[in-house]
Structure 1
């Protein structure tokens, strides 16, 4: 069982099961994310990682979800995604999901649609432009014309415009060049250093564990290992299965 008493608990998942018809994608997992942590969920493709994030954010298609989901101490299972955004829970989905026919600047404004503090919104756009200078150079450009890496930067900046208490990142390095992957992880570490709590789903186990405080390994719908991220980096079983070592 997950420890419910720990101070600063942001997200608590207990006994989560997700089934699509007769297919059990998630088979009863527990995990938690505490204030200020960067927690990563690693595992092979098809392990159930993205399904877990979609269950948390209420973005799954019709399927059976069992177990409990608590965010900031309140049950959120069954909440709509737009309600969760109002509670400062944001997700950068796999595939980025930028508004392709809007400019970079317009995408960032969409990230702040729940806010009405115009001066602070403008200041935040400047802030994230300083973190992502490529976006600033192309602020009037349509998002659909950006490279994959630039779209990933935009999707992250857009999510951060909502001032998330918890930021969920789903496979941010997928399909990117090695140089761009390094840049994205540099930004993830930067965001974490600012105190923003992050749950990161990622197939690049090495980079994810190097950046994270704690990690969970998911395999065939189950959490098979969890612990301190640095310890997991040195674990022979993790090295053999996910790091190409051992």
Structure 2
């Protein structure tokens, strides 16, 4: 049984169908990516999984349980963590305080402290600035912090929405290096990303979304070699 299964998922904004009935699965320990152009329905899909939008049809099944229409905080308590598009850090709080906000539902203080150290091991740049307020960080540093904060909840499923957006190429490389490292630890991930090449190179499997529909899916390696994907998303 997959950890996450979207079954004929449909999402509407008013009268407009943004997601038109998609089937997506994520197995335990997999890194799966959703790629596609702006407006394809990628972010909307993540919002439906996390309860930020209620599906108009179909089901979101997580760990064998239908969580469609559940409240966001209930879904988060089940071990789903979202790194949102635009990062969403708390600008007035320090780096360390932001990380501790990610562990708000935990009461195992020694393990929380160990996880803060683990995040600082992943992101040495954050460790150097641990007392600095998040609003003074660069976009790339805020992205590191957003990923670190999500990791503080010890998620069973980590959802990443456009982690490379607006970042300099060197910072994008660093972020994807960390994503691959987290995946190597066995954390299950669903990645939404416009940089199709980087997403597919990091992933086990991928889905191509166009106009709210899955038009292609398969092993990431085979999608990288697919002429349609190469022409539409890899600039070839």
Q: TM bucket by the smaller chain?
A: over 0.9
Equivalent position of 1:89 in the other structure: 80
How many Å apart are 1:81 and its aligned residue?
A: 1.2
Q: Deviations over 1:185-239 (max 9, x none)?
A: 0000000000000000000000000000000000000000000001100111100
Q: Secondary structure at the match of 1:128?
A: helix
Q: TM-score, normalised on structure 2?
A: 0.99
Give the alignment of 1:41-190 within 5 angstroms: 41-60=34-53, 65-190=56-181
Give the whole-Å Cα distance in 2 for the aligned partners of 1:165 and 1:184.
20
Does the Cα contact within 8 Å between 1:215 and 1:226 map onto a contact in 2?
A: yes
Equivalent position of 2:212 in the other structure: 221
Correspondence 1:26 to 2:19: yes
How many Å apart are 1:64 and its aligned residue?
A: 5.5
Equivalent position of 1:206 in the other structure: 197
- Worse overlay, 29-38 or 74-83: 74-83
Q: Deviations over 1:89-142 (max 9, x none)?
A: 100000000011100000000000110000000011001101100100000000
Correspondence 1:192 to 2:183: yes
Does the Cα contact within 8 Å between 1:55 and 1:65 map onto a contact in 2?
A: no
- Residue number among 24, 30, 33 corresponding to 1:40 in the alignment: 33
Q: Deviations over 1:144-184 (max 9, x none)?
A: 11000000000000000000000000000000000000000
Aligned-residue Cα RMSD (Å) equals: 0.8
How many Å apart are 1:21 and its aligned residue?
A: 1.2
How many Å apart are 1:14 and its aligned residue?
A: 0.5
Q: TM-score, normalised on structure 1?
A: 0.95
Q: Secondary structure at the match of 1:58?
A: coil
> Residues 64, 85 of structure 1: CA spacing in aligned structure 2 closer, same or farther, 3 A cutoff?
closer
Does the Cα contact within 8 Å between 2:159 and 2:189 map onto a contact in 1?
A: yes
* Ranges of 4+ aligned residues in structure 1 off by more than 4 Å: none
Give the whole-Å Cα distance in 2 for the aligned partners of 1:44 and 1:231.
19
